[in-house]
Amino acid sequence: MSAKGPEDYAAKPNPRNGRTRLISANWKMNLNHLEAIAAVQKLFYLLRPADYRYAEISLHPPFTDLRSLQLLIETDRMPLVLGAQNTYPESSGAFTGEVSPSMLSRLNVKYVIVGHSERRELFGESDAFIARKVRAVLDASMLPILCVGEGEEERQAGRTGEVLSDQVERALVSVKAEELGKVVVAYEPKWAIGTGNSATATDAADAASVIRATLTERFRAEVANEVRVQYGGSVNAGNARAFLELPELDGLLVGGASLDPEAFARVIQA
User: Is 59 in contact with 40 (CB distance < 8 Å)?
Assistant: yes
Active-site choice (60, 116, 125, 248): 116
Query: Contact, 117 vs 156, CB < 8 A?
Result: no
SS3 content of the chain, % helix, strand, coil (to 5): 45, 15, 40
Please provide residue 54's backbone torsions phi and psi, each rounded to the nearest 5 degrees: -70, -45
Nearer to ligand PGA, 83 or 232 (CB): 232
Q: Is 161 exposed, middle or buried (0-12, 13-18, 19+ CB in 10 A)?
A: middle
Which of 26, 58, 100, 165 is in the footprint of ligand PGA by CB under 6 A? 26
Beta-bridge partners for 111: 83, 143
Cα–Cα separations (whole angstroms), residue 189 to 176, 183, 197, 210? 26, 19, 10, 13
CA gap 230, 243 in Å, rounded: 9
Residue of 56, 118, 188, 248 with catalytic role: 188
Among the listed ranges 5-13, 132-140, 163-171, 230-238, the one in contact with ligand PGA (CB under 6 A) is 230-238
Residue 42's SS3 state is: helix
Q: Is 56 marked active-site?
A: no
Give kind and range of the element (H or E) at residue 59.
strand 56-60
Q: Does 131 bind ligand PGA (CB under 6 A)?
A: no
Q: Does 148 bind ligand PGA (CB under 6 A)?
A: no
Q: With respect to ligand PGA, which residue has the nearer C-beta, 113 or 224? A: 113
Of 4-12, 75-83, 176-184, 228-236, the window that binds ligand PGA (rule: CB under 6 A) is 228-236
Cβ atoms of 256 and 239 closer than 8 Å:
no
Q: Please, what is the minimum distance in Å from the beta carbon of residue 178 to ligand PGA?
A: 28
- Is 188 known to be catalytic? yes
Report the nearest approach of ligand PGA to the CB of residue 196 (Å). 8
- Which residue, 125 or 188, has its beta carbon nearer to ligand PGA? 188
Pairing mode, if any, of strands 251-254 and 228-232?
Answer: parallel
Site string for ligand PGA, 192-211 (x = CB under 6 A): -xx-----------------
Whichever of 125 and 223 has its CB closer to ligand PGA, that residue is 125
Q: Kindly tell me which residue out of 89, 149, 251, 256 binds ligand PGA, with binding defined by CB under 6 A.
A: 256
Q: Whose CA is closest to 269, among 237, 239, 247, 242?
A: 237
Decide: is 267 part of the binding site for ligand PGA (CB under 6 A). no
Q: In this chain, which stretch among 1-9, 72-80, 200-208, 253-261 interacts with ligand PGA, using CB under 6 A?
A: 253-261
What is the spatial distance between Cα 91 and Cα 99, in angstroms, rounded to a whole number?
9
Which of 23, 253, 267, 270 is in the footprint of ligand PGA by CB under 6 A? 253
Binding residues (CB under 6 A) for ligand PGA: these are 26, 188, 193-194, 232-235, 253-257
Active site positions, annotated: 116, 188
